[in-house]
Amino acid sequence: QVQLVESGGGSVQAGGSLRLSCAASGYNYNPICMGWFRQAPGKEREEREGVASIYTGTGTTLYVDSVKGRFTISRDNAKNTLYLQMSSLKPEDTATYYCAAVPHSFCDLNMGSYNYWGQGTHVTVSS
């Protein structure tokens, strides 16, 4: 059973930083595509926005335009942990952030491409 457990969310003022972590277990897929998605307050699950993805085989990353230059996705393969370093946070970054994974080499930011999901961690950015 694949398990993804996010942590690191919290409240921060605009301009601040947070690092989210996602501990993965229960699978032997390697390499694998992993991503971070977010669901803003009042939005439905189907409206989750892809924030960043990484293919562990090559380290290739992909970001949504709104976070480029501010967020960095990375993975520690030895620890089976995915990270999202978020800097220069804005109030519009407020959301529940979800970690996702799929044993596939094609990494995109479409939530329908991912079949394993964590429970989410909440981030609040105040102005």
Mean pLDDT per segment of 10 residues, for the chain of length 127 residues?
Answer: 94 98 85 94 95 94 98 93 97 98 91 95 98
pLDDT at position 65: 98
* Alpha-carbon torsion (57, 108, 44, 70), positive or negative: positive
Q: What is the DSSP letter of 105?
A: S
Please give the angle made by the CA atoms of 54, 50 and 86, to the nearest 5 degrees: 70
pLDDT at position 81: 94
pLDDT at position 26: 86
Sequence letter at residue 103: P
Question: How many Å apart are CA 75 and CA 16, to the nearest integer?
Answer: 22
Residue 96 in contact with residue 38, Cβ under 8 Å? yes
